[in-house]
Homo-oligomer: A and B are copies of this chain.
Amino acid sequence: MRIGIADTMFAQVDMAKVALETIGEIHQTERYTVPGFKDLPVACKILIEKHNCDIVIAFGWVGNTNLDEMCAHEANTGLISVEIETSIHILKVFVHSQESEDPDTLRKITEDRARKHTLNAISLLKGKTELTPLAGQGQRQGGEHRGAL
């Protein structure tokens, strides 16, 4: 199986590096680096269409203005459109810089989210009920799990 990894120059943490370390030798990978997160949808489309990826992980980094949040919305809408068109999962791993003012905390959130979503991608490649044992369990990426109510 082949995992696509799309990332940006805009991000302030190299999330693709975390993904590549997590995947190791388990699957082949294809990387695509674009300027900013609004360039991710077409990059993912190309990874799926031309590079035959079976799943893609898209890493976005969102600045802290309202405009940044609107752009993140546009990027996510585009990524979901590509998923629907291709019937291929794209894990949308976005870190919003407003999640923490402390650079160390923000880097830890980022690395945790990148690692957990890479593991999710590997699970999704195994089949549609691979994650079912964790359904409704309040799982979180980038923070502590919440658990079931």
- By a beta-carbon cutoff of 8 Å, the part of chain A in contact with chain B is 7-17, 30-35, 38-39, 41-43, 45-47, 49-51, 67, 69-71, 73-78, 80-85, 87-92, 96, 103, 106-107, 117, 120, 124, 128-132, 134-141, 146-149
Contacts and interface: CB of A to CB of B under 8 A. Distances in A.
Given A33-B129, A132-B31, A87 B45 contact: yes
Given A35-B141, A87-B46, A136 B14 contact: yes
> Which among A39, A51, A130 has the highest number of chain B CB atoms within 10 Å?
A39
Contact of A12 (B69, B107, B146): B146
A12 to B, nearest CB: 4
Contact of A33 (B13, B76, B77, B131): B131
Contact of A76 (B17, B71, B76, B140): B71
A80 B41 contact: yes
A74 B88 CA distance: 17
A22 to B, nearest CB: 15
B80 A46 contact: no
B84 A82 contact: yes
